[in-house]
Chain A
Amino acid sequence: MTERPNRILVVDDEPDVQPLFSQRMRRDIRAGRLELLFAGNGVEALEVLNRDPDIDMVVTDINMPQMDGLTLLEHIPKIDSDIRAIIISAYGDMKNIRTAMNRGAFDFVTKPLDFDDLRVTIDRTLNHLKEWREALASRDKLVALQNELDIAHHMQQSILPTQFAKGNDWEIFASMEPARNVGGDFYDVVPLEDGHVGIAIADVSDKGVPSALFMMSTRTMLKGAAIGLLDPGDVLKEVNALLQEGNDTGMFVTVFYGVYNSNTGELTYANAGHNPPLIVRPDGSSVLLPMTGGIALGVIPEFDFSENTVKLEPGDTAFLYTDGVTEAARSDEDFFGLERLRDIFAETPPKSPKEANDVTFAAVHAFVGNLPQTDDITCLALTRSEKTP
């Protein structure tokens, strides 16, 4: 069976949107991967959605006559709860972005439109949708527990970026090895203005579908807050307040969030209860980033997160990890541990962020041997290159 093209409805009242999208997406359209439909406002969009049951996703502007994008978002699930929506918002318009996320938008892009970013976002959304459908399709065939874990597993995988922003003298690499029974780790890289980039690593308590959902909302809120607010402490404070609303599940998430300023080499960070990252020097020696006295997000309603700033010298790597690394166990009481991690870097000083990831995964694998992996293992590294080109 050949797959039908993914059908995307673009909703915008600007007349040049249709030719622009058709032109920029022409390769995908010609190759039969995408089909674009257009509507000029929310009312027209609903008419199209009602007529065409095969639409997979909607990309919508917010401000439009007759029915705006935020109102449209409320109506989409009534037609088909599987349709995923991406909104196009003004840069830094946190209020609307947050409203859209609360109304179930899957992701957002900002104006002026960067079509490369839009394509990556569309691909990720379609990928998520595919995995989601596969998980739903297999639901009936599996026992309830395994099924839940599979869905959670797919949800987790589909939100993680695999291509990373990079600059003249810095690069980032991150990866995750999921546990069989899904922990709830995630990472994110958020390009910001003026040579800044946000890096985040997080670990949601517990596992299964509820924690996967918690992870999804944390990730979207974090991304939204990161774009709207520059200070890491403010970002975490905002996400904490949002997560707190209606959270009586006791679920929480530890998050390390830092903003790297490539103009100065400075990393400013705040830490919501996450394992303190390492700064690894070119000679392999390492220091722990000082704790900033935070608390995991979702635990208490109001909290002010302190920040700290460190400078990455050329050749330094900031190494973020989850407890899946340090708590990888080969027996009930024998953990991989932070010291072993630091020893690994001392033996093999990483020259790139990918190398830092690779040596860590290799060492953890060697340590636990064939024992089943009980928690997600996640690393994110940012390296400031030794020489500027």
Chain B
Amino acid sequence: MPIESVREGGTLIAKAEARIDGANAKAFQDDLESVIEREDHAVILDLENLFYISSAGLRVILLTAKALQRQETEFAVCGLSDSVKEIFQISGFDKIIPMHPTVHDAKNAL
């Protein structure tokens, strides 16, 4: 299932759903790559409906962050549940990827 996404101005907002783990990480990566355009100024990944992410999922997010950094596109995540936020904090990913409570906050911070 392709991921749900909207584009507001130059900002792409993409939603990740349910869980990202070893079983669907590759599909998630392909989906995300297919919706991101080179012209996007910023990409916000909305994790509001995500309740679990494994290290395979984090790897896709890291690859995305690195690719966006190369094309000088801003990147942020938002709407993290407590458990997903904890996974970002323990792994230290919160140090390299800005986290915001809501899409609105993320847009304001760009």
Contacts and interface: CB of A to CB of B under 8 A. Distances in A.
Contacts of A206: 22, 25, 55-56, 59
A98 to B, nearest CB: 25
A332 B18 contact: yes
A374 B60 CA distance: 19
Nearest to B51: A333
Contact of B95 (A181, A250, A251, A295): A295
Interface string A202-230: 01111100000000000000000000000
A374 B57 CA distance: 14
Q: How large is the interface on B (under 10, 10 to 19, 20 to 34, 35 or more residues)?
A: 20 to 34
B93 A299 contact: yes
Contact of B62 (A299, A332, A374): A299
B59 A295 contact: no
B92 A295 contact: yes
A59 interface: no
A205 B60 CA distance: 10
Interface string A253-284: 01000000000000000001111100000000
Interface string A177-208: 00001010000000000000000000111110
Given A206-B22, A333-B51, 9 more contacts: A205-B56, A207-B22, A207-B56, A250-B66, A293-B92, A294-B92, A299-B96, A332-B19, A374-B21
Closest 6 CB pairs of A and B: A295-B92, A250-B63, A205-B55, A273-B91, A205-B59, A206-B56
15 contacts: A205-B55, A205-B59, A250-B62, A250-B66, A251-B59, A252-B59, A254-B90, A254-B91, A291-B90, A294-B92, A296-B92, A299-B96, A332-B18, A333-B51, A335-B52
